[in-house]
Chain A
Amino acid sequence: MVRCPSCARLQEPRLICSECAAPLACNLDCFAALGLARKLQIDQRLLEQAYHDLGRRLHPDRFANAPAKLRDLSLRATALLTRAYRTLREPVNRGLYWLELNGRKLAENNQVPAELAAIVFAAQEELSELRAAGSRYEVEGVAVEAMAVIERQGQVMRMLEGLAGELEANFMAFDRIEAQPSEELFNELKRILSAMAYLTTLTRDIAKALDRRAAA
């Protein structure tokens, strides 16, 4: 329970005081900040609505004429709200946050997940060949090296889509459980997120390399 600094009302931690609607910049987790239950599956529209409704009432622009203390609180409360929205809006961020919330961390050692290793290495080779090639020889205006990379990009995108589906399934599994989730479920989440991180970085590298060619 926390006490509102403006009206002194005792209440569950939340962003806006239930009594006087003053900002109450508590240390809330992202779900609580948006007034949502701790569930991994989120309706995007409801999420946006919660964000906009709270934003309308908390934003510093609403407190331009208020005393400094309230202005400061509204600034911090809104920063918290913004971060919460950003974190929960995107499934990967949401998944990473879920791990953090439950005291788990994604491995920091940056090793390529085994099943991806072959693909990532092949892709990196193709990229260096593309960078080395001038416009050596082309088929219908597209360099041969670029064709390989473009195809690889397509493959990576498809894999990412598949992983996104796996992520949703994992979220569903978490939400179904009443008791403590198993360690397997957390490991599964870590595996999916790790793979997505790698492939996302790869896809960015590919896009950058292709962009450079187009610009040249």
Chain B
Amino acid sequence: MSRIFGIDLGTTNSLIAVMEQGAPRVFAEPSAGNALLPSVVALRPDGAAEVGSAAIALETNGDANAIVVRSVKRYMGLGGADLAEEDRRRYAFDTAGAVVRFQAGARAYTPSQISAAILRELKRRAEAVLGGEKVERVVITVPAYFNDGQRQATRDAGRLAGLEVVRLVNEPTAASLAYGLEKAAEGQSAAEGKIAVYDFGGGTFDISILNIKGGIFEVLATNGDTHLGGDDIDRALVEWMLGGIPADRESWTAARAAAEAAKRALSTESTTATRVELKDRTIAKNINRAELEAIAAPFVDRTIACCERALADAGLTPSQIDAVVLVGGSTRMPLVRRRVVACFGREPLASLDPDEVVARGAAVQAGVLMGTQGDMLLLDVVPLSLGIETMGGVMERLIHRNTTIPTSTTDNFTTAVDNQTHVDIHVLQGERELASDCRSLARFKLGPLAPQPAGLPRIEVTFLVDANGILNVTARDERSGQEHSVDVKPSYGLTDDEIERMLEESIDLGEEDIEQRLLIIARNDAQQIMTALRKQLKDYAGLIEAGERARMEALAAELEVARDGVDRERIAHLVEVLNEVSTPFAERIMDQALRSAVEKHTLEQIS
């Protein structure tokens, strides 16, 4: 079977890694050498998509035709009602359906589709480095606090990218695996004990408390906030920079970049300058670390509150924690470090690169699934209670938060009226008392039932949360023992049919279309060089040496034929050869131009 790869699909950056000779290997972009792929996607009106630095380039160049989406992870599993004012200001949304869609020209894309573009890019990168091996099976990480809908959306993204998502792993747990593996290299007992993983990324915050013993990584409690991250600090900083002045989309984009740069600078410097170019003016302000910390403090305070709740759920005091691991770029802020030390009473471990540790952990889990990691085992938990809506709009909890997964519970249902054909179950997730305050996961319809008096049917429903943290519901008629069909309508997700349709529709963001786009680029290159060469052959006929013209014209003719075909590699090869062959000619043209420029200059100077 093919190797399983580990993917960190982050809010700000994404990475892909795989186990090789007992250690995780992170894949860097061959040309750029950077392992971090910015989770930025640019959607073009012609249907093509750019990911990473190419997308950022489009954003900086202010290409009005490209819709550049940042931090798409924050929109996974959301419905229209979940969008905040600031979200609507940044992007145009289509909220007609259950799932939000980003409007780009005439088309609209779900966050899963956009995330799929990122996943496809990571797949391409790893395949380019490996040369021959295909990436088919993956482990993808998700914030521990992601609810069911957000997890489903992530799995959907994998499917849309043509990947088999073997497992979703919680980010802090993945980080603990990477940490455990590192420590194991030092000796078994070094990896044992209770650890706290503080994961503060671009868009989400998670705190997980684990017990590591004999290769078993058991999560005791987890807490967090899926809308709390470095992005929020950036946003607050932009507000501060603008000082109440409203900015349009363009200047806000520039301001955000300036804010992020200033925030990073202040991690090492004590003061820095910021600058925002608006349409009618420029705002330039200096900011020092104390001022930034005042702006960032409320957000960091919230993370510490989550830590305290997690400790309480785990039944532990901070002194009982043996080690604290920091994950995520936002943990580079000195303020964060100070608050973590204050909360846990010890210095955090930062020997692992906070940007890569989650991807490495994902690779380790991939190894566990392949059976190459010996006795390592992950026992994770469901982060939020699951339950059903009962009479009076109350949330009845069936599975409590921090219950180890997989876990299952059964409940019995019956009918309320005579000859009722179906039983409806509304499944919710959350910690509040009222169903309306919790998150609706899905509505299940059991049946059809044979006509019977009210109260007679006995349907046993099993709620199973699998190892991905996703709910599965099965139903059984207790009397007949027969399985009931359960029709699931997810509240914030794509149904299987919708996904199938998306896969069938050749919407852009498909691999075939990436090939198509690369072909178009190659053809453009070919056209450019042929047009330029034709012009040069005409204008500088005198500079051509014997035999050169025949050669160049023959190559150009071949290139013309290739350009009309679909062999992208052949086109690229011919372009290269033609370039080489015409270089001496081009150099002569250059020399001549330079000489005449110098002559003219000298003449002018003298006169």
B406–A64 CB distance below 8 A:
no
- Are A79 and B368 closer than 8 Å at their CB atoms? no
B404 contacts A by Cβ under 8 Å: yes
- A residues within 8 A CB of B214? 52
Known pairs A75-B467, A82-B406; A56 contacts B377 (CB<8 A): yes
Known A60-B466, A79-B464: A65·B407 in contact at CB below 8 Å: no
For chain A, which range describes its interface: under 10, 10 to 19, 20 to 34, or 35 or more residues?
Answer: 10 to 19
Are A55 and B466 in contact, CB atoms less than 8 angstroms apart? no
Contact across chains for A61 and B377 when beta carbons are under 8 A apart: yes
In the assembled complex, the Cα of A75 lies from the Cα of B167 at a distance in Å of 13
CB of A61 within 8 A of CB of B369, answer yes
Residue of B167, B365, B369, B407 touching A82 (CB-CB under 8 A): B407
Q: Is B403 an interface residue (CB 8 A)?
A: yes
A61 to B467 CA separation, bound complex (whole angstroms): 8
Query: B295 contacts the other chain (Cβ, under 8 Å)?
Result: no
B542 at the interface (CB under 8 A from A): no
B1 on interface, CB distance cutoff 8 Å: yes
Nearest B residue to A75, CB-CB: B406
Q: A52-B216, A56-B216, A79-B464 are in contact. Are A61 and B406 (CB under 8 A)?
A: no
CA A76 to CA B463, docked complex, whole Å: 11
| CB of A190 within 8 Å of the partner chain | no
In the bound complex, residues from chain B placing their C-beta under 8 Å from that of A62 are 371
Q: Is A131 an interface residue (CB 8 A)?
A: no
Contacting residues, chain B, for A80 (C-beta < 8 A): 408
In whole Å, how far is A204's beta carbon from the nearest beta carbon of chain B? 11
A105 within 8 A of B: no
The answer to whether A64 touches B377 (Cβ under 8 A) is no
Q: Mark B340-379, 1 if CB is under 8 A from A, else 0.
A: 0000000000000000000000000100111100010111
Q: Is A39 an interface residue (CB 8 A)?
A: no
User: Is B405 interfacial (CB 8 A cutoff)?
Assistant: yes
A86 touches B404 (CB 8 A): yes
Shortest C-beta distance, A207 to chain B (Å), equals 9
Could you tell me which residues of chain B, from 200 to 243, have a CB within 8 Å of some CB in chain A?
213-214, 216
**Complexed CA–CA distance, A193 and B456 (Å):** 33
B166 contacts the other chain (CB 8 A)? yes
Contact A56 B404 (CB under 8 A): no
- Residues of B with C-beta under 8 A to A203: none
Within the complex, the shortest CB–CB distance from B146 to chain A, in Å, comes to: 19
In the assembled complex, how far is the CB of residue B436 from the closest CB belonging to chain A, in whole angstroms? 22
Q: What is the 8 Å Cβ interface bit string for chain A, positions 4-21, against chain B (1 contact, 0 not)?
A: 000000000000000000
Q: Report Cα–Cα, A55/B167, bound state, in Å.
A: 17
Chain A residues whose C-beta falls within 8 Å of the C-beta of B403 in the assembled complex:
82, 86
A94 in the interface, Cβ–Cβ < 8 Å?
no
Q: Are A79 and B408 in contact (CB under 8 A)?
A: yes
* Residue pair B369, A64 in contact (C-beta under 8 Å): yes
User: Nearest chain-A residue to B166 (Cβ)?
Assistant: A64
Instruction: Judge whether A194 is part of the interface by a CB distance below 8 angstroms.
Output: no
A63: nearest residue on chain B (CB-CB)?
B369
Instruction: Tell me the residues in window 135-170 of chain B with beta carbons closer than 8 Å to chain A beta carbons.
Output: 166-167
In the bound complex, what is the Cα–Cα distance between A85 and B214 (angstroms)? Answer: 18
- Asked if residues A61 and B407 are in contact (CB atoms below 8 Å), the reply is no
Q: Are the CB atoms of B408 and A59 closer together than 8 Å?
A: no
Mask for B428-471, Cβ within 8 A of A = 1, else 0?
00000000000000000000000000000000000010110000
A38 CB-CB contact with B under 8 Å: no
Q: Which among B378, B379, B403 has the greatest number of chain A C-beta atoms within 10 A?
A: B379
Rounded to whole angstroms, the CA-CA distance of A86 and B213 in the bound complex is 18
CB pair B407 A59 closer than 8 Å: no
Inter-chain contacts of A83 with B (CB < 8 A): 407-409
**Structural contact, B216 and A55, CB atoms closer than 8 A:** yes
- The closest CB in chain B to the CB of A80 belongs to B408
What is the bound-complex CA distance between A155 and B40, given in angstroms?
A: 58
Nearest A residue to B1 via CB reads A65
A60 and B1 contact, CB distance less than 8 A? no
Distance of B368 from chain A, by nearest CB (Å) = 5
Contact (Cβ within 8 A) B406 A60: yes
Complex contact A60–B467 (CB within 8 A): yes
Interface string of B404-428 (1 = CB under 8 A from A): 1111110000000000000000000
Measured between beta carbons, the chain A residues less than 8 angstroms from B167 are 61, 64
Q: A65-B1, A75-B406, A83-B407 are in contact. Are A59 and B377 (CB under 8 A)?
A: yes
Given known pairs A52-B216, A60-B467, A65-B1, the reply for A78 and B406 (CB within 8 Å) is yes
A76 to B409, CA, bound (A): 11
Q: List, in ascending order, chain A residues with CB within 8 A of B406's CB.
A: 60, 75, 78-79, 82
Given contacts A52-B216, A61-B167, whether A79 and B371 have CB atoms under 8 Å apart is no
Q: Is the CB of A55 within 8 A of B377?
A: yes
Bitwise, A163-178 to B at CB < 8 A (1) or not (0) is: 0000000000000000
Note all chain A residues with C-beta closer than 8 A to B467.
59-61, 75
A61 x B368 contact (CB < 8 A) = yes
Contacts of A86 in B (CB 8 A): 403-404
What A residues does B368 contact at CB under 8 A? 61
Asked whether B405 lies within 8 Å of A82 as measured between CB atoms, the reply is yes
Interface residues of B (CB under 8 A from A): 1, 4, 166-167, 213-214, 216, 365, 368-371, 375, 377-379, 403-409, 464, 466-467
Please name the 7 residue pairs, one residue from A and one from B, whose CB atoms are nearest each other, closest first. A79-B408, A64-B369, A79-B406, A60-B467, A82-B404, A78-B406, A82-B407
Can you spell out 5 A-B residue pairs with CB atoms less than 8 angstroms apart?
Answer: A56-B375, A59-B377, A75-B406, A75-B466, A83-B409
Add 9 more A-B contacts to A56-B377, A75-B464, A85-B404 (CB < 8 A): A59-B467, A60-B406, A61-B378, A64-B370, A65-B370, A79-B406, A80-B408, A82-B405, A86-B404
Instruction: List chain A positions with a Cβ less than 8 A from chain B.
Output: 52, 55-56, 59-62, 64-65, 75-76, 78-80, 82-83, 85-86
